[in-house]
């Protein structure tokens, strides 16, 4: 009996070791078929990303979709849920998987949770950049407003009515400029976080030669880019960039994953996803990206809107915004089954 138990344990050893192997699995490789899926992925992801990011930007021409309207808050809550889920469910687990791989040396990678540490540093770094940039631009515009008011006072000394009008206009303009600059900082930092992990996803897909791996990723990443594009597009809309700047940001987002797939195609023969260098680089970038996305979703997108007077004083809008938030997070989490 003991001999049989020993034989069973010995039989399981190859199965356990197989899970920890650092060699690429060549059984399911088919370059020709994989290439077809990759080309389909480039087209579908490019189109989905472009539609997603352009919908809110083009939608601002529709009165019902203006940033001041209630429906815009609901859409933004949905996309914030998508971005939060991307950071928590998609990117951060990948980072932990990369940096705790058995293909890496035990020291230091097995002795410290580097993925969580880098994500925390990225979130805190984003907070510092967000705070300093907003404070700097707010102070800059306040000083300009004071200078303009001082010059106006000198030119209109004795015109009390004109003086009062100039003072009021300058105060409103300063507050408006401060909010606008904050939205611009938010949109640019958010795009940075999205772009980093989109390129990594693209390279991984492009370098794979397994049709069974790529096939489910095509549909999942198409929806992934569409939802993320809606979130970024909403922030770009609120930032009120010039048409050219908005177009450049939208184009840059739309092209990142397809370009990553193209890079992956070019390095297929030399890229090894299980090599220590690839695992460390992907793990560090995924960790940093997740920290940025989580911070942006929770602080700059959700907290800023959910604690605003518009939602706090409108119970119905707050309810539907919460529903949209949970729906967005749920849809994106569901995609983790395939991507």
Q: What is the DSSP string of 12-71?
A: HHHHHHHHT--S---TT--HHHHHHHHHHHHHHHHHHHHHHHHHHHHHTTSGGGSTTSHH
Q: Which of 11-25, 143-157, 282-296 has the highest mean pLDDT?
A: 282-296
Q: φ and ψ at 234, to 5 degrees?
A: -65, -40
- For residues 216 and 193, give the distance between their C-alpha atoms in angstroms, rounded to a whole number: 24
- Whose tokens are 């990759």? That residue is 38
- For residues 199 and 9, give the distance between their C-alpha atoms in angstroms, rounded to a whole number: 43
Is the pLDDT at 232 greater than 70, yes or no?
Answer: yes
pLDDT tens figures, 183-219: 888 888 888 888 887 888 888 888 888 887 788 778 8
For residue 229, give every residue at least 6 positions away whose Cβ sits within 8 Å of its Cβ, in sequence order, or none: 48, 49, 50, 51, 52, 53, 54, 55, 253, 254
pTM over 0.85: no
- Cβ neighbours, 10 Å, residue 52: 26
Q: φ and ψ at 60, to 5 degrees?
A: -65, -15
For residue 230, give every residue at least 6 positions away whose Cβ sits within 8 Å of its Cβ, in sequence order, or none: 52, 53, 55, 56, 75, 78, 79, 82
Percent of the chain with pLDDT over 90: 17
pLDDT tens figures, 119-142: 999 999 988 888 887 787 777 767
pLDDT tens figures, 51-97: 988 888 887 777 766 667 788 788 888 888 888 888 899 889 988 99
> With b meaning 16 or more CB within 10 Å and e meaning fewer, what string describes 273-312?
beeeebbbebbbbbbbbbbbbbbbbbebbbeebbeeeebe
* Predicted local distance difference test score (pLDDT) of residue 4: 44
Mean pLDDT for the chain? 79
pLDDT tens figures, 266-292: 888 777 778 888 888 888 988 988 898
**What CA–CA distances, in Å, run from 100 to 103, 107, 113, 279?**
8, 11, 8, 9
Q: Which of 22-26, 171-175, 182-186, 320-324 has the highest mean pLDDT?
A: 320-324
In 156-275, alpha helices (H): 160-207, 211-239, 243-266
């Amino acid at each position: 009996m003991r001999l049989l138990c020993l034989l069973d344990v010995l039989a399981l050893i190859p199965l356990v070791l197989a899970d920890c192997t650092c060699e690429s699995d060549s059984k399911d490789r088919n370059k020709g078929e994989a290439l077809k899926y990759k080309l389909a992925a480039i087209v579908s992801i490019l189109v989905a990303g472009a539609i997603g990011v352009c919908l809110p930007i083009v939608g601002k021409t529709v009165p019902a979709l203006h940033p001041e309207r209630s429906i815009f808050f609901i859409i933004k809550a949905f996309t914030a849920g998508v971005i939060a889920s991307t950071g928590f469910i998609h990117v951060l687990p990948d980072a932990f998987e990369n940096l705790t791989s058995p293909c890496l040396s035990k020291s230091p990678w097995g002795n410290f949770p580097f993925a969580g540490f880098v994500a925390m540093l990225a979130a805190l770094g984003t907070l510092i950049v967000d705070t300093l940039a907003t404070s700097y631009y707010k102070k800059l515009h306040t000083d300009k407003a004071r200078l303009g008011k001082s010059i106006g006072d000198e030119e209109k000394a004795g015109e009390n009515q004109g003086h009062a009008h100039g003072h009021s206009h300058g105060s409103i303009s300063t507050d408006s400029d401060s909010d606008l600059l904050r939205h611009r900082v938010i949109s640019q930092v958010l795009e940075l976080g999205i772009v980093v992990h989109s390129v990594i996803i693209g390279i991984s897909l492009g370098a794979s030669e397994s049709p069974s791996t790529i096939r489910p990723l095509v549909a999942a990443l198409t929806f992934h880019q569409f939802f993320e594009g809606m979130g970024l597009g909403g922030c770009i809309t609120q930032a009120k960039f010039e048409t050219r700047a908005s177009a450049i940001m939208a184009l840059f987002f739309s092209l990142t994953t397809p370009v990553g797939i193209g890079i992956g195609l070019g390095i297929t023969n030399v890229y090894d996803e299980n090599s220590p260098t690839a695992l460390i680089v992907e793990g560090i970038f995924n960790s940093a990206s997740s920290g940025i996305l989580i911070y942006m979703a929770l602080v700059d997108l959700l907290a800023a809107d959910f604690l605003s007077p518009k939602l706090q004083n409108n119970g119905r809008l707050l309810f539907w915004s919460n529903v949209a938030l949970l729906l967005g997070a749920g849809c994106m989490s569901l995609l983790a089954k395939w991507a």
